[in-house]
Amino acid sequence: MTRRGSLAYYSVAVVCGSFFVALAYYLHSAAEWGIGDRWAYDLIFAYFLTIVAGIVPLLLYAATLRHLVRSLRWQAAWQWTLLGTVVGVTLLWILARLGYIAESAYFSPQRQGLKFLLVYPFVGPMMFTAKPFWLPIPVFAAASYVLYRVHRAFEPDPDLSQ
């Protein structure tokens, strides 16, 4: 029905991926404007918004990464990290551009709910690409490495199978 560790893999993709995005977003904003007295609240709030806005793109990223790595038969951590960074950044920019196209589409006032549903999966990438172009690179590198570790943790042990 499902692969070994799929629930853990995709849960970690959303939880850790969102945390890495929120942390990068927060640190970049703190470098620009400074850290206020409510830094913990700001970080947790950014994390919550990142989960809400990034769940669809992060699940798509994790599924694409897992599929590509399996089809290429790559096993090393550096391969996962490199491919995950390239896939993540590319997917982020594609989804952001699609979001801008969907946002600019005209909808009658009666169809604004449809526009929200059409634009929602692209809100996270649209927000994240508004920051400097290099900001997603360490985020996707860290997320890819964590996903590699989760994937390896659920692989069957060849010594135990007989």
- Looking at per-residue pLDDT, the higher value among 90 and 3 belongs to 90
| Average pLDDT of the chain, as a whole number | 86
Contact assessment for residue 57 and residue 95, using Cβ atoms and an 8 Å cutoff: yes
Asked whether residue 108 is assigned to any structural domain, the reply reads: yes
* Domains of the chain: total: 1
User: pLDDT of 23-82, one tens digit each?
Assistant: 998 888 888 777 778 888 888 998 998 999 889 999 999 999 999 999 999 889 999 999
Instruction: Please determine, for residue 162, whether its predicted confidence score (pLDDT) is greater than 60.
Output: no
Range of the domain at 55: 6-153
In this structure, are residues 12 and 126 in contact, taking their beta carbons and an 8 Å threshold? no
Percent of the chain at pLDDT exceeding 90: 45
pTM: 0.85
pLDDT band, very low/low/confident/very high, at 149 (cuts 50, 70, 90): very high
**Residue 53, phi then psi, degrees to nearest 5:** -85, -20
In-domain check, residue 127? yes
- Which one has a higher pLDDT value, 115 or 88? 88
Query: What pLDDT digit, counting tens, does each position of 78-87 carry?
Result: 999 999 999 9
pLDDT at 160 over 60: no
User: Which of the residue ranges 71-75, 89-93, 94-98, 115-119 would you say has the lowest mean pLDDT?
Assistant: 115-119
Domain-embedded: residue 1: no
Residue 2 has pLDDT above 60, yes or no: no
**Local confidence band at 161 (pLDDT 50, 70, 90 cut-offs):** low
Q: Would residue 66 count as lying in a domain? A: yes
CB-based burial label for 113 (10 Å; 0-12, 13-18, 19+): exposed
CA angle 87, 81, 14 (to 5 degrees): 70
Q: For position 1, what pLDDT does the model report?
A: 35
